A and B are shown apart, each in its own frame.
Chain A
Amino acid sequence: MFRDLKSLYLQNEQTYPTETYLVQRQVERSILKIEQEPLRGEDRLNKEEHKEYLHQSLKQLPTSYQALDASQPWLCYWILHALDLLEDEPTEEEKIGILEHLSRCQSPNGGFGGGYGQVAHLATTYAAVCALCILGTPEAFDVIHLDKLYMWLLTLKNSDGSFRVTELGESDVRGLYCALAVAHICGLLTSELVENCSTYISRLQSFDGGLGGEPFNEGHGGYSYCGFAALCILDEYWQQTESKCVPHSLDIKKLQFWVINRQLPLEGGFQGRVNKLVDSCYSFWQGGLLTLLEFWTRKYQKRNTSFRFSGEDLERYLLRYCQCRGGGFRDKPGKPRDLYHTCYALSGLSVAHQNLSGTVTHQYLLPKINALLNVRMERFELAATYLRNKKRME
């Protein structure tokens, strides 16, 4: 059952207020305010409203989205994945358009950019490949120029095991994750591509146990997900080729301890870093990370992990405080909705549904995702089978 939030609020009182403390209390009070609303109904996923918001977005986005003009494949993936989790999809006509659009984003030298004529970028490549996987047809999978993609990935590799996101761009763990995730589903993992990757990942663990974007950076949910998911992909590769665990020097227990403590008891959702605020997108980054850690410890440790998080609390955060009127999800109360948060809130909700203690029966659970790539399990299976076979034939 849900704890008494008011008494939690009182318990959270501290001496010596600072900025961190004051903004945190502000968020807690905004949560309590919602709790006290007399007309608050039952926690319910407003499926139809979310679908409406997503379908509308698919048809047209306002001028303010010019700020995301270099992220067109992301917009595509956020919408398609969110619809997929709601067990909905674009029309057949829209699917053809989406396919052609993603085709135009592909660079003649391999990889996908943010739009037609833009330079290929690892993040937009990840988004485009995932979007094509969700479309799920051979025509969609055939859009990807596998050989050019592989050659392009190699050109981005640094000697320390990391990847640059573009030819002249920044290197951090996002680049590494996107490169390996794409290679994983397309069957492009080779010893050349994965060389030194686990060494780089091992250098990312911060003093607090989380992983940072670059060595010595602060532990952060997004980067921790990227780093550990990349390690899991490497591990699958090592299991296949060397029949052993990927060599690494991460303190897995410390990472687990860090991430489990990122779920905030009062809000129910996850924060991205120690002493920072809750945000619905971390429902996936941190929740997904916990899912991957659970698989890992089941594989490599004799006993079952004791680090299960509260799916009920996470669901409460998302459904009760983050759903917007008219559809879509927001970061936290007081913030506007957007497609990014809608995608990751729903992804986090799917993870939450796999972590319910079972005391409350759920009439409806979201479909299960493949936590390594954040697409539905079936989409991953179908795409991976097709693409990996194709690679072998070429």
Chain B
Amino acid sequence: MSQSHFQDLDLRTDTKALLELCQDVIQDIEEYIKPERSAPIKYEIDFLWISALFRILLKRKEYSERALKVSLAAIYNNPADYSCWDFRRQILKSLQQCSLFQQELEICNELCLQNPKNYQIWFHRRFLCTFLENPLQELQFTEITLLEDAKNYHAWSHRQWVVDHFQVLDEEAFSKKFLEMDFRNNSAWNYRYFTLFSNMRTTVNSLELRQSEASYAWEMLQRSFMNESAWYYLWKVVNDGKSIAASV
């Protein structure tokens, strides 16, 4: 953490308040690095300062722009610090400034690309999404992530959530695109099943569609019969079809 970061945190309110804050921070650090613990981590000093400062603001329930800056610094040090992410959501909800939400999305984009398997960042996106109502952006973002790693569980899960939450239709081509790239991609087969046959779809009970999907799976199996994904997909749509036909 450079000198400029500390200046940016606007801690120079008044001397008394600053001294009080420093005392609280030191007390927290002393508690945090007590030798009586398992597997003590060899902390860097700025890591300790920033995380302690964050914990103090958290304890004080200070929902301010200053708290946003401190928690962001803590997040850069440790993107998996879920307390920070929770805190930011609380601050954003209480400040209710539209510009802050957009800024937050940009921060998320940067951190998400660097840490594509981090639970907290992906969940934060869902929170932002509900305020910003930007499904197209989210679909674009998940596509970028999936082109990097076609099986990123969080990315597929997020895309499903966006599609569900905003009732996005016409997603059939997306799974097809990824299956063309790799017909062994189980995540893409799963997404295909979701987009065609989940409860929100009008095609949820379509016998016809299941028949054509069975043909599609069979076609993919011609490329290689040793592809479990296509077999499970075929098995599922055929069994679905049996149940639907029986109930008619």
Binding site for B on A (CB under 8 A): 12, 14-16, 18-21, 57-63, 65-72, 75-76, 79-80, 90, 94, 96-98, 100-102, 104, 113-119, 121, 131, 165-170, 206-209, 212-214, 216-220, 258, 261, 273-276, 339
Contact = CB atoms under 8 A, between A and B. Distances in A.
Contacts of A76: 38-39
B42 A63 contact: yes
B76 to A, nearest CB: 11
Contact of B160 (A68, A75, A121, A216): A216
13 contacts: A21-B184, A21-B224, A61-B40, A67-B78, A72-B38, A97-B35, A119-B58, A168-B89, A207-B233, A208-B229, A217-B160, A218-B187, A219-B186
A273 B123 CA distance: 22
B39 A114 contact: no
A79 B39 contact: yes
Contact of B186 (A57, A97, A168, A274): A274
Contacts of B80: 67-68, 70-71
Given A20-B185, A61-B41, A118-B55, A66 B77 contact: yes
A69 B51 contact: yes
Given A70-B81, A113-B83, A170 B119 contact: yes
B78 to A, nearest CB: 5
B105 to A, nearest CB: 18
Contact of B38 (A58, A66, A119): A58
Which label, helix, strand, loop or mixed, suits the secondary structure of the A interface? loop
B98 to A, nearest CB: 20
Contacts of A15: 223-224
Closest 9 CB pairs of A and B: A101-B37, A97-B36, A20-B184, A117-B55, A170-B123, A218-B190, A18-B182, A208-B232, A274-B186
Contacts of B81: 69-70, 114, 118
A63 B44 contact: yes
B181 A18 contact: yes
Contact of A100 (B28, B37, B193, B223): B37
A63 B78 CA distance: 12
A182 B69 CA distance: 35
B14 interface: no
A104 B31 contact: yes
B227 interface: yes
Contacts of B96: none
Contacts of B58: 117, 119
A207 B236 contact: yes
B47 interface: yes
A276 B186 contact: yes
B82 A119 contact: yes
A100 B189 CA distance: 48
Contacts of A212: 157, 190
